[in-house]
Structure 1
Amino acid sequence: MRHGEAGWHSVDQQRELTEAGRYGTGRVVHQIAESPWRPREIWCSTLIRARQTAAIASEILNCRVTEKPFLAPDDDPGLCLDALLEESPATRVLIISHMPLVGALATLLVDAHRQGIPFMTSQAVALEMPVVGPGCADLKAQFLP
């Protein structure tokens, strides 16, 4: 999931969600909550807008949030893939991050390359991976605000 819409009134590291961003996030997370892909935990970037998005998701989904240092906008999606390899294959994780990372990660997991697909703010996709690895995921659903 990409974080909700954030304002541009401050430096990138301090950008906070707008009212529209909070609303869009809530809409998408309610869709996820009613889907068969409801997560059991949430990983998020350490940036404020991702943490605020994760807090909304945590409240709706009743999930634990863990901040991960490898989920910043320009991080290598392979680092996230490595962390996913350490998890149980049955674990459902909602990853909340930024562009271009979310696009690059989704593309790596589905198509085994790193040319990222675009994500709107608050957009989420459900990927199913019987085996964790590049090109091993199937796109099962898309959630839009």
Structure 2
Amino acid sequence: MQLLIMRHGEAGWHTVDQERELTESGRQHVAEAAVQIAESPWRPKIIWSSPYTRARQTAAIVAEILNCPVEEKSFITPDDDPGQCLDALLETDASPLMLISHMPFVGSLATLLVDGHRRGIPFMTSQAVLLDMPVVGPGCADLKAQFLP
């Protein structure tokens, strides 16, 4: 399985966490990263997005550039357990799959899949990584590419 994990674009701080919207700079950086992904051989079949506004906005920009459908997933919000997402990954046959979420979730999921622990690596806003997993499981992924705005 190939999994693209992306952190949402830069968001403003003028409202409650779930409703924070992307800044203009955030929108631009998301588009820049999405264009890099579009030019790569790893175009996702589907995008899983957190239901938070900034993630949904990020997913909409990426989906338009990649011509890809989006599904909202309630289990990929900032403080969710990456183990629940791992269970969902075991159930899907969509590959490459893209997941758009938040810190600390994206960092915890990436380190769980690559290193087998949940300490979490930092992700910048609009950053995406490509993980390649012959088998979906903790410690089974290799980091193959990074996409930065």
TM range (shorter): over 0.9
1:14: which partner in 2? 19
Name the count of aligned residue pairs. 144
Two-structure CA RMSD over aligned residues (Å): 0.8
* TM-score (normalizing by structure 1): 0.97
**TM-score, normalising length from structure 2?**
0.95
Runs of 5+ unmatched residues, structure 1: none
Deviation, structure 1 residue 83:
0.5
Q: How does 1:49-68 map to 2 (within 5 A)?
A: 49-68=54-73
Q: Secondary structure at the match of 1:29?
A: helix
Letter in 1 for 2:79: D
How far off its partner does 1:38 sit? Answer: 1.3
Please tell me the residue identity of whatever aligns with 2:147: F
Runs of 4+ in 1 over 6 A off after TM superposition: none
Using the alignment, how far apart are the partners of 2:91 and 2:109 within structure 1? 16
Task: Identify the residue that residue 3 of structure 2 maps to in structure 1.
Answer: none
Q: Which has the higher contact order (CA 8 A, sep 6+)?
A: 2
Identity %: 74
1:102-121 matched pairs, under 5 angstroms? 102-121=106-125
How far apart are the structure 1 equivalents of 2:61 and 2:97?
15
Unaligned runs of 5+ in 2: 1-5
Deviation of 1:110 (Å): 0.3
Specify which of 85, 89, 100 is matched with residue 80 of structure 1.
Answer: 85
Give the 3-state SS of the residue equivalent to 2:7 in structure 1. Answer: coil
CA deviation after TM superposition for structure 1 residue 11, in Å: 1.1
Equivalent position SS for 1:57 = helix
1:100 is aligned to: 104
1:72 aligned counterpart, secondary structure: coil
What is the match of residue 125 of structure 1?
129
Q: Distance in 2 between matches of 1:56 and 1:12?
A: 20
State the Cα distance separating 1:62 from its structure 2 match.
0.6
